[in-house]
Chain A
Amino acid sequence: MATLERMDWYDIARTTNWTPQYVPEDELFPAELSGHMDIPMDKWEIYDEPFKQTFPEYVKVQREKDAGAYSVKAALERSKLYENADPGWLSVLKAHYGAIARGEYAASGAEARMVRFAKAPGQRNMATLGMLDEIRHSQMQLFFPHEYVSKDRQFDWAHKALDTNEWAAIAARSMFDDMMMGRSAVEVGLMLTFAFETGFTNMQFLGLAADAAEAGDWTFSSLISSIQTDESRHAQIGGPLIGVLVANGKKAEAQRMVDSAVWRAWKLFSVLTGPTMDYYTPLEHRKQSFKEFMQEWIVAQFERSLLDLGLDKPWYWDIFMREIEDQHHGMHLGVWYWRQTAWWNPAAGVSTAERQWLEEKYPGWNKTWGACWDVITDNLVEGRKELAYPETLPVVCNMCQLPINTTPGAGWQVRDYPHEHDGRLYHFCSEPCRKIFQDEPQRYAGHQSIVDRFLSGEIQPMNLAGALQYMGLAPGESGDDAHNFKWADTIRDERLKKAS
């Protein structure tokens, strides 16, 4: 029996809008959940999803994907990756799973909101598949690290990190909740699927897959690149939405959503992905620098599509270009210094050879960030280890929830973008973080940063022990130098050799 080709029936099958008779349209699609901005129903029907897939095809293709990823895991389960991997690489895995695995369930919820409340039938159809994709991503990224829990309790954080008040978990939750939990179908389409998924997830799920392959961790490489094949499809939900909004005079609104999401994603990636690629991944396995991956994925690929779809470069383009050069170096220095508050063991990544690589990739590194590491290194080499621990708190941005820092130099330069709202003084790391707050103060005003909580007395006792307890970090979970300072011993040997 001859069967119809997909395109012979696809449009008819997915055109599921109807005229409601029992309730008014606004009750069926409340403005705050659909985000329709009073664009009439028929205007949404021009939405034509560029990456088409039907449910029967979806099930078949997903089964094939799962068979691939799970069989690689099964084949390599006895390869003793945990025992043989560099401790820096294990930290990459811990940071990735903890910050991301449970967030995938939240993403499924956001997709489900589009399934129910999007006015464009094509968007509802694609989001149905996206909703299932994200369940797959959570389940796999909870299952894969589970084999390591019995060897190392930091891997328990793959599952529980986002349930804690650990600072990086607060930062990740703040960004993901903003993008997924408290947004309408249109906002999710633009902020999560377009800005975050066609842009930043490529960095984490393909850039990092390249490093994983170099490091010989084929299980992780295959897992995350397989996840990205789902993103590649459902991330296309946002593109046609831009067309609908631009055609109906809502370009400024679309631009603001995308600008906000790109910036928030950037800040989180500067603390999560930047240090893992340029410091934790063993030097010989680094496929490209973080900056080179940013150029490949975010600037050359994502920003190019943004322009093609009718939006403009973000207003903070120049600030963004500058931050790509240096922001993650400050984040890394901070995470390593406050390492007891992380659920992974940060690798310092500043051996002599690594510093040469950093200087080559980021000219000027030695004179700036390197000067800070010189002090830390001297203290360790000369036996003053106690000075390589912090005694104070960093100042944390009231938007990205990350330590405010800037490239050190000869002059005293404090980075601070303050803003007063309803009698409370907020501090931001940058103009974009402040602008995001000013655009929607009601969304962010009530949030307390981890430092606000400390200063208000919510964290007791007001010392490191109290902070670790508040963050849920038990002994054995609290981070330390990934290589137990062996890199400093090597530098001491190098110096002795030179002196003799």
Chain B
Amino acid sequence: MSGMDKAHLNNMVGPVMRQGALARAVYEAAELDNPGRKIQMEDKVAYVRIQTENEMILRQDTIEEMLGKPFKLNQLEVDMASFAGRIETLDDHVRFYFAKRF
């Protein structure tokens, strides 16, 4: 069954972004804001899946710096088409996480 029946036993969290400048900025910010974590990027042409194990933080300031233009955290939604894990939206950062680990 090609691992299908076990595919849900994972701890990958993070945003799925439509392709474009914001997706690249988010990937770069994910690397800077999550030291010590390996950030994966899967490119599906229309969208990119940016993921890591267990928890990912994305800070408004870091995304803004990577984007090179003013950016408010609520604008993340313009290109964030989905995400893995749970989300917590705060004033200066967003967090993806799981409450349970496999």
Contacts and interface: CB of A to CB of B under 8 A. Distances in A.
A53 B80 CA distance: 14
Given A57-B74, A61-B78, A5 B46 contact: no
A226 B74 CA distance: 15
Interface of A: 5-7, 50-53, 57, 60-61, 64-65, 68, 202, 205-206, 209-210, 212-214, 221-222, 225-226, 228-229, 231-233, 236, 239, 287-288, 291, 294-295, 299-301, 303-305, 307-309, 313, 317-318, 321, 324-325
B90 A295 contact: no
Contacts of A64: 75, 78
Nearest to A56: B74
Contact of B86 (A5, A213, A299, A305): A305
A229 B81 contact: yes
Interface in B30-49: 44-47
A229 B8 contact: no
B81 A205 contact: yes
A295 B4 contact: yes
Contacts of A317: 5
- A interface: dominant SS: helix
Contacts of A318: 5
B86 A325 contact: no
A300 B84 CA distance: 9
B74 A221 contact: no
Given A307-B8, A308-B99, A229 B80 contact: yes
What are the 7 closest A-B residue pairs judged by CB atoms, nearest first? A209-B46, A213-B46, A303-B8, A228-B81, A299-B7, A213-B45, A300-B7
A229 B74 CA distance: 12
Interface in B58-102: 72, 74-75, 77-91, 98-100, 102
B29 interface: no
B8 A299 contact: yes
A6 B82 contact: no
Contacts of B19: 213
A258 to B, nearest CB: 14
A210 B44 contact: yes
A233 B87 CA distance: 10
A469 B8 CA distance: 46
A232 B80 contact: yes
Select the residue from A294, A295, A318 with max chain B CB neighbours within 10 A: A295
B45 A226 contact: no
A299 B99 CA distance: 18
B45 A236 contact: no
B48 to A, nearest CB: 10
B47 A206 contact: yes
A225 B17 CA distance: 9
Given A229-B78, A239-B86, A324-B4, A308 B98 contact: yes
Nearest to A299: B7
Given A210-B44, A210-B47, A232 B83 contact: yes
Contact of B18 (A50, A226, A304): A226
Contacts of A214: 45
30 contacts: A6-B74, A7-B90, A50-B86, A50-B87, A50-B88, A51-B89, A202-B82, A205-B81, A206-B46, A206-B47, A210-B46, A212-B46, A221-B46, A228-B82, A229-B78, A229-B80, A232-B77, A233-B77, A288-B44, A291-B2, A299-B4, A299-B5, A299-B7, A300-B8, A304-B84, A305-B85, A308-B99, A317-B5, A321-B1, A321-B5
A288 to B, nearest CB: 8
A287 B1 contact: no
A213 B99 CA distance: 35
